[in-house]
Structures are given as C-alpha cells and as structure tokens.
C-alpha cells in the first residue's frame, strides 16, 4: 500500500508540478552523506513517520454481497494510516529550490485527496477516498527540527505532506446461507384459539372409601336413607345414629341427679 502511494505522488508531481521537467523525484533519507552526493536537481519525498489516523477509525462490520444481493461475508472497515512525507528541493541555487517548493505547494494545495485518475492497484480497487494535507503545523510530540537532527543533516526549507491511506487487511467472516420463506405460515385477522385437550379423571378418584369406614361391608338391615328418620343420618335421641359408617352412642338425662347423666343404650 505504501509503495502505491509513492507511485501516485511521483506521477502527480511529475505531471502537474514539474510539467515534464527532467528533475528527478526520489524517496531517499536526506542525510549528510546523501546530500554530499547530490549533483543534479531533484525533489525528495522522505517518508519519516507512519501512524494510525484515530479520527477515521470505524466500528462494526462491512457486508459483502453477491450478484443476487445476498450477504456472503463480512469484514472489518478499513483503517486509515497517516503517511508523513518531508518534501525538499535540491538544486545548486537557493532561488531554484524556492521556485520548486512554490510549484510543489501550488500543485498539492489543489487537492484534498489523491486524484482518482492517478490511483492504481489496491488503492483503485478499494474505491475509497485517500485524504491528504499539505504544510499543516506539526503535532506537539515532534517538530521538523527533531527530524533533521535525527537525520544528521542541515536544516532546509521543506513541506510536510500527510496522506491518510486506507488499509483493508482484516479477517474475513463467511456469512451463513440466507433464510428462505419455505414452511412459513402467515395469518391475518382473528385467529381462533387452539382446542383444549380432553380432561381425564385422575386414577383412583372414583370409589375411594371414607376415612374410618369399612369398604365392602353391607349396610345394616332397616337402615334408611340419610334423609329418613332412623336412617344412617338420624341424630334423634334413643336411637343409634350412623354417619359415614360410624356408630355413635347417645346419652340422655332421665331423673338422674343434677350434673350426672345416665347411660342408656336403646
């Protein structure tokens, strides 16, 4: 990706800034030893810094579609990296260097991004804009004087060019097959409730004996219905009352002293 940006800058400067002049465009480090070997006019674009452009970072995933419009894969969005170039002009006379810098500044100020006509390779395939800026103040964490000191050369007038290039190298996540409409049933309006399942009698509910009774024993002779006098439900004095198969003994007071009862069994 970086070498493709180099090719775009070289072709742009040659076509619009130098206008066919035989001045060379190189990407060397302008050290003291290199400057001593320069014997012809040239423009040098030294790449001195590479860092991510955090203002352009995106979240989420981007979809990839096939010819039918279905999603086949997902990728992370491209991440932008700032390529910082130190542009200098090298001639025998300072006036010629200033003239070259003026032509370079006027050419690069016309664009806020690399021209689409000069993009090639992966930059053209991405189809995204490649922003660039020229001659902005340097960040607080570095200065151009520090760059020249690190190179060991003499300070020269220069232009700072920053290109934010997108990098799409990221994992590719294959998407599952699209969901079809086979087997789906749509209803509109009032839908009747589903029928209730048939109720079944709990096993052992019918024919259970009463607690304390004797299942299977026949009723005594002369026992009437619960509602008849002297029947199973009679509570009259002088008789036996039967409730739920239980025999009860009734007592009554006949001439017995007060506070005492006589037990009489009919």
CATH code for position 61: 3.30.2000.30
Residues in the chain: 266
Pick from 113, 144, 174: which residue ends a domain?
174
Are 139 and 236 found together in one domain? Answer: no
Are 104 and 221 found together in one domain? Answer: no
Are 35 and 162 found together in one domain? Answer: yes
Backbone angles phi, psi at 239, to 5 degrees: -130, 170
Are 36 and 110 found together in one domain? Answer: yes
User: In 132-258, which ranges are E strands?
Assistant: 132-134, 159-167, 172-174, 241-243, 246-248
Pick from 174, 205, 237: which residue ends a domain?
174
Are 166 and 242 found together in one domain? Answer: no
Closest CA to 113 of 42, 48, 56, 43: 56
Per the CB < 8 A criterion, the answer to whether 82 and 130 are in contact is no
Closest CA to 126 of 114, 136, 137: 114
Give the pLDDT of residue 96. Answer: 93
Pick from 174, 191, 206: which residue ends a domain?
174
Give the pLDDT of residue 118. Answer: 85
Per the CB < 8 A criterion, the answer to whether 142 and 39 are in contact is no
Q: What count of other Cβ atoms lies within 10 Å of the Cβ of residue 167?
A: 14
> Does residue 167 sit within a domain?
yes
> Does residue 12 sit within a domain?
yes
Q: How many domains does the chain have?
A: 2
Torsion over CA of 225, 226, 230 and 232, rounded to 10 degrees?
100
Closest CA to 44 of 148, 173, 180: 148
User: Per the structure block, which two tokens stand in for 61?
Assistant: 């995933």
> Does residue 42 sit within a domain?
yes
> Does residue 187 sit within a domain?
no
Are 97 and 219 found together in one domain? Answer: no
> Does residue 134 sit within a domain?
yes
Give the pLDDT of residue 60. Answer: 76
Are 166 and 236 found together in one domain? Answer: no
User: Per the structure block, which two tokens stand in for 94?
Assistant: 């300072």
Q: State the Cα–Cα distance between residues 9 and 15, nearest whole angstrom.
A: 10
Give the pLDDT of residue 227. Answer: 47
Give the pLDDT of residue 247. Answer: 45
Domain span holding position 78? 2-174
Torsion over CA of 238, 244, 245 and 246, rounded to 10 degrees?
-60
Per the CB < 8 A criterion, the answer to whether 147 and 86 are in contact is yes
132-134 and 172-174 beta bridge pairing: unpaired
Distances (CA, A) of 141 to 26, 86, 146: 27, 16, 10
Give the pLDDT of residue 228. Answer: 46
Give the pLDDT of residue 140. Answer: 72
Q: What angle do CA 172, 175, 179 make, to 5 degrees?
A: 170
Are 246 and 116 found together in one domain? Answer: no
> Does residue 263 sit within a domain?
no
The secondary structure element, H or E, covering residue 73 is strand 71-75
Give the pLDDT of residue 141. Answer: 67
Mean pLDDT per 10-residue segment, the chain (266 residues): 91 89 92 91 94 83 79 81 94 93 94 88 81 86 76 86 86 72 65 71 55 53 48 46 45 48 46
> Does residue 260 sit within a domain?
no
Are 77 and 140 found together in one domain? Answer: yes
> Does residue 98 sit within a domain?
yes
Give the full edge-to-edge strand order of the sheet including 24-26: 24-26, 42-52, 79-90, 159-167, 132-134
Give the pLDDT of residue 223. Answer: 47
């Amino acid at each position: 990706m970086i070498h493709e940006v180099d090719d775009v800058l070289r072709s742009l400067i040659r076509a619009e800034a130098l206008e066919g002049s035989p001045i060379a465009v190189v990407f060397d480090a302008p050290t003291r030893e290199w400057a001593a070997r320069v014997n012809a006019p040239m423009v040098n674009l030294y790449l001195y810094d590479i860092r991510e452009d955090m203002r352009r970072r995106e979240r989420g995933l981007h979809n990839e579609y096939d010819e039918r419009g279905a999603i086949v894969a997902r990728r992370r969005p491209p991440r932008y990296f700032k390529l910082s170039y130190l542009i200098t002009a090298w001639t025998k006379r300072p006036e010629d260097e200033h003239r070259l810098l003026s032509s370079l500044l006027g050419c690069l100020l016309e664009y806020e991004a690399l021209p689409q006509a000069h993009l090639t390779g992966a930059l053209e395939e991405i189809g995204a804009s490649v922003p660039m800026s020229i001659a902005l103040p340097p960040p607080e964490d570095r200065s151009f004087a520090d760059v020249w000191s690190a190179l060991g050369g003499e300070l020269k007038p220069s232009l700072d060019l920053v290109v934010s290039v997108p990098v799409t190298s990221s994992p590719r996540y294959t998407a599952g097959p699209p969901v079809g409409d086979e087997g789906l049933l749509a209803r509109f309006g009032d839908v009747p409730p589903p029928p209730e399942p048939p109720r079944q009698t709990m096993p052992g509910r019918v024919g259970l004996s009463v607690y304390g009774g004797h299942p299977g024993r026949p009723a005594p002779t002369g026992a009437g219905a619960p509602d008849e006098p002297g029947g199973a439900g009679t509570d009259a004095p002088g008789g036996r009352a039967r409730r739920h198969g239980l025999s009860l003994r009734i007592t009554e007071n006949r001439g017995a002293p007060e506070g005492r009862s006589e037990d009489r069994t009919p």
